Amino acid sequence: MNPPAADPLAAGLLERLPLLARDALTGALPEPWRWVANGLLAILAIIVVFSSLFALLTLAERKVLARVQNRPGPNRAGLPLTRFRLGGLGQPLADGIKMLTKEDIVPRGADPVLHFLAPVVLLALSLLTFAVLPYGRLLVPVELEAGVLYFFAAGAATELALFMAGWASRNKYSLLAAMRALAQLISYELPLLLAVVPVVLLAGSLSTSGIVAAQAGWDLGFLPRWFVLTPWGFASFLIFLTAALAESNRSPFDLPEAESELIAGHLTEYSGFKYALFFMAEYLGMTALAGLGVTLFLGGWRAPLPFLEFVPSYAWFGLKLLALLFVFIWIRATFPRLRIDQLTRLAWKFLVPLALLNLGTAALWALTAGWGPALQPLRWLGAVALVAGPFVLLGRGLTAGLRPRTYRFA
Amino acid sequence: MIALAAIALGTLAAAAVALALRDLIHSALLLIASWVGIAAFYLWAGAEFIAFAQVLIYVGAISMVVLFAVLLTRPPTAPATPVRSGRTVPGFLAGGAVLGLLAGAVLSSPLPAGMGAAPAFGVRELGLKLLGPHAGALLATGALLTVALLGAVVLAAGRGKEDAP
Amino acid sequence: MSPLQACLLFSSALFSLGLIAVLVRSNAILVLLGVELMLNAANLNFIAFWRYGPAPAEGHGVVFVVFALAVAAAEAAVGLALVIALHRHQRNVRLGDARRLHG
């Protein structure tokens, strides 16, 4: 990991703990090799941490869904070869062994090279996005001047892997589902990017650590200056969250693999290890998008209250990330799936106009940054009106003439 | 230089194979690989922003349009015999001549030989340039993109009646 | 051979490949992709001359490539829409068959 701009010695011992551990491991090496070893160690740390997070996330998702639906969820598998069940904590291990020992089937008419490459490319690209997230005050794996752009460039290429999977399977359901997935991903790429642009505008930086640095400080002595706590930032955050759900194929936007309509979409012809790779890439993509949301809107690794700053920054990042992931699971348990026409209409007629208007609001916010304390309430009122007014009007306009469905035979 | 040679060879090989293949999907995917190679060249040259923009625009957007176009215009049955355009030999001759001309000109010109330090032209400087002296061109590009979007929709949508076979 | 010359040779080869594709292939999509390749070769030249040119701090090459990328995106969208329109008219995308206006 690169040494950041801040003076590392000024931070506390807990804050420097990961760096100290790294130096203890690689400190003996001569200079060019040390740099290489540090890079490899960062890659290894990211892979290990987020792979185990993925394993725990699959279990957490099933447990939370079960809790919402009033059933116990997986609770049998525990420590292998013992009688300790630990509330089902061994489930990811059992799932992994099941996936690895399944037969890997390639359809006869399939394109074997592309069929193999699709999950590999997808996983590699979703791992690439983790490189630019600032995990802590001193933990930025790669410091890029255009970090946000890099994140989206790596994320945009996942569409290609989806197409490869659908086309290489030589199955009409796979291809149809892949085309639908592409339509969805392209539709939601737009609001996702448009929701990020106001943040870049206000932070004046495309680098992720620059955006975190722009959210430093406290209002009134205790309110953090996170972007989500401004009118435009709140609207941006909601648009970002919706688009991120759609980009990571999560319910209520999980049409690409809607098992009740399209068998399993582009995953139909995948089994065993390749299926597990797809699964893992999907969860990693969701985690990366949640991490970007934390960085852009929720202050990154910053503590929520001034007196809590003694807790190391990476702990705050982890807590916020887990909270956002919990929201994702919660949404999955709550909302029914959308239809494909509703899905695209939501993106093009609702989210994109709102995001564009929100960009204007953010520009006004930036222009009025110099207003004195007397004019601040006016600034807030104006911004709130600019955010809430179009939301209400557009929502009314789009749902005019629609009533809740009545079930006569239920 | 070794990195440059590797990038160049990879990009050229991907592009050459892509343009020679018969299967359009494979050629499109290989061309996308060569676009990634070009992005790697931009990274090598120190143009970080351009490299990521290249990946975002070419690999994320144009590739999708190309793949959709390939799938939409595929013949219902594969043609029995590959169609010869009859321009193979003249085409290769013309391409080779252009390559020879360009290479000769490059190798014989007195070009600056130094391996200069990486220039200090980051994202901030690029943004200041784009919104300062080039703001008019930026607006014109926006208008061009909007017009192109509308034009593409009109062209591809057709008049509706002709769609029925 | 200086690095600038190496970059220029790379872009020349890429340009020639695009040219050969445009001249030899008869599929409209591949011809369009050949044009894209030639455009990319031109962008490569801009970046190379910016990197080794006399005034890299001015960044003219980078600014030009930004605009060229935007225009390339517009070109690809319109070009592929044309290909789809062509397919609607003649049921294939062979350029040799598009001779309806041929006198």
Average pLDDT estimate for A378-394? 87
CA distance A88 to C68: 56
The band of A3, judged by pLDDT with boundaries at 50, 70 and 90, is very low
Query: Contacts of residue B112 in chain C, CB cutoff 8 Å?
Result: 2, 4, 52-54
- Give me the number of domains chain A comprises: 2
Q: What is the nearest CA distance from A385 to chain B, expressed in angstroms?
A: 28
Query: Contacts of residue A159 in chain B, CB cutoff 8 Å?
Result: 60, 64
ipTM attached to this prediction: 0.88
As a dihedral over the C-alpha atoms of residue A123, residue A124, residue A125, residue A127, rounded to 10 degrees, the angle is 80
Domain containing residue A202: 105-367
Subunit contact B151:C24, Cβ cutoff 8 A: no
In this model, does residue A10 exceed pLDDT 70?
Answer: no
C27 - beta bridge partners?
C94
> How far are the Cα atoms of A11, A12, A115, A306 from residue A310, in angstroms, in the given order?
10, 8, 50, 9
Across chain A, mean pLDDT equals 84
Report yes or no on A381 lying in a domain.
no
Task: Please tell me what DSSP assigns to residue A228.
Answer: G
CB-based contact (8 Å) between A189 and chain B?
yes
In this model, does residue A7 exceed pLDDT 60?
Answer: no
Average pLDDT estimate for A359-367? 89
CA closest to C2 among chain B residues:
B113
Pick C80's closest partner by Cβ from B65, B75, B163. B65
Q: What is the nearest CA distance from A202 to chain B, expressed in angstroms?
A: 14
Task: Please indicate, yes or no, whether residues A81 and A193 belong to a single structural domain of this protein.
Answer: no
Tell me how long chain A is: 410
Report yes or no on A42 lying in a domain.
yes
The band of A38, judged by pLDDT with boundaries at 50, 70 and 90, is confident
Share of chain A above pLDDT 90, in %: 12
Report yes or no on A127 lying in a domain.
yes
Pick B48's closest partner by Cβ from A144, A154, A159. A144
Task: Please tell me what DSSP assigns to residue A347.
Answer: I
Report yes or no on A258 lying in a domain.
yes
Average pLDDT estimate for C42-69? 86
Q: What is the CA radius of gyration of chain B?
A: 21
Task: Please tell me what DSSP assigns to residue B73.
Answer: T
Contacts of residue A409, defined as CB under 8 A and 6 or more positions apart, other chains included, come to: none
pLDDT tens digits for range B112-148: 666 566 667 788 888 888 888 889 999 999 999 999 9
Task: Please indicate, yes or no, whether residues A116 and A95 belong to a single structural domain of this protein.
Answer: no
Task: Please indicate, yes or no, whether residues A88 and A132 belong to a single structural domain of this protein.
Answer: no
Task: Please indicate, yes or no, whether residues A174 and A270 belong to a single structural domain of this protein.
Answer: yes
Of A349, A367, A385, which residue sits at a domain end? A367
In this model, does residue A41 exceed pLDDT 90?
Answer: no
CB-based contact (8 Å) between B112 and chain C?
yes
Domains, in order of start, for chain C: 3-101 (1.10.287.3510)
Query: Contacts of residue B63 in chain A, CB cutoff 8 Å?
Result: 160
Pick C84's closest partner by Cβ from B35, B73, B116. B73
Subunit contact B91:C20, Cβ cutoff 8 A: yes
CA distance A298 to B102: 53
Q: What is the nearest CA distance from A327 to chain B, expressed in angstroms?
A: 28
3-state secondary structure C36-94: HHHHHHHHHHHHHHHHHCCCHHHCHHHHHHHHHHHHHHHHHHHHHHHHHHHHHHHCCCE
CA closest to C48 among chain B residues:
B45
pLDDT tens digits for range C69-103: 999 999 998 988 888 888 887 777 777 777 777 66
Subunit contact B141:C69, Cβ cutoff 8 A: no
3-state secondary structure B115-163: CCCCCCCCHHHHHHHHHCCCHHHHHHHHHHHHHHHHHHHHHHHCCCHHH
Give me the pLDDT at residue B165, please.
41
The band of A5, judged by pLDDT with boundaries at 50, 70 and 90, is very low
Task: Please indicate, yes or no, whether residues A24 and A70 belong to a single structural domain of this protein.
Answer: yes
Query: Contacts of residue B114 in chain C, CB cutoff 8 Å?
Result: 2, 52
Report yes or no on A310 lying in a domain.
yes
Average pLDDT estimate for B25-51? 89
Report yes or no on A399 lying in a domain.
no
Task: Please indicate, yes or no, whether residues A53 and A151 belong to a single structural domain of this protein.
Answer: no
Task: Please indicate, yes or no, whether residues A252 and A168 belong to a single structural domain of this protein.
Answer: yes
Do A359 and A197 meet the contact criterion of CB atoms below 8 Å apart? yes
pLDDT tens digits for range A53-105: 998 898 888 888 888 888 888 887 777 777 777 777 888 888 888 888 888 88
Q: From the candidates B30, B85, B134, which should be mutated to test the interface with C, based on the most C CB atoms within 10 A?
A: B85
Task: Please indicate, yes or no, whether residues A278 and A155 belong to a single structural domain of this protein.
Answer: yes
The more confident residue out of A305 and A258 is: A305
* Of A35-39, A404-408, B1-5, C64-68, minimum mean pLDDT range: A404-408
Subunit contact B50:C40, Cβ cutoff 8 A: no
Pick B122's closest partner by Cβ from A145, A152, A186. A145
Give me the pLDDT at residue C44, please.
92
Report yes or no on A113 lying in a domain.
yes
Report yes or no on A197 lying in a domain.
yes
CA C72 to chain centre: 8
> How far are the Cα atoms of A398, B141, C65 from residue A387, in angstroms, in the given order?
17, 28, 36
Task: Please indicate, yes or no, whether residues A95 and A114 belong to a single structural domain of this protein.
Answer: no
Give me the pLDDT at residue A213, please.
87
Task: Please indicate, yes or no, whether residues A59 and A188 belong to a single structural domain of this protein.
Answer: no
CA distance A304 to A299: 8
Q: What is the nearest CA distance from C102 to chain B, expressed in angstroms?
A: 18
The band of A260, judged by pLDDT with boundaries at 50, 70 and 90, is low
Q: What is the nearest CA distance from B16 to chain C, expressed in angstroms?
A: 7
CA A312 to chain centre: 22
CB-based contact (8 Å) between A179 and chain B?
yes
The band of B34, judged by pLDDT with boundaries at 50, 70 and 90, is very high
Task: Please indicate, yes or no, whether residues A17 and A165 belong to a single structural domain of this protein.
Answer: no
Subunit contact B71:A159, Cβ cutoff 8 A: no
* Of A170-179, A230-239, B36-45, minimum mean pLDDT range: A170-179
Task: Please indicate, yes or no, whether residues A172 and A50 belong to a single structural domain of this protein.
Answer: no
Query: b/e string for B10-37 if b means 16 or more Cβ within 10 A?
Result: bbbebbbebbebeebbebbbbbbbbbbb
Of A330, A347, A367, which residue sits at a domain end? A367
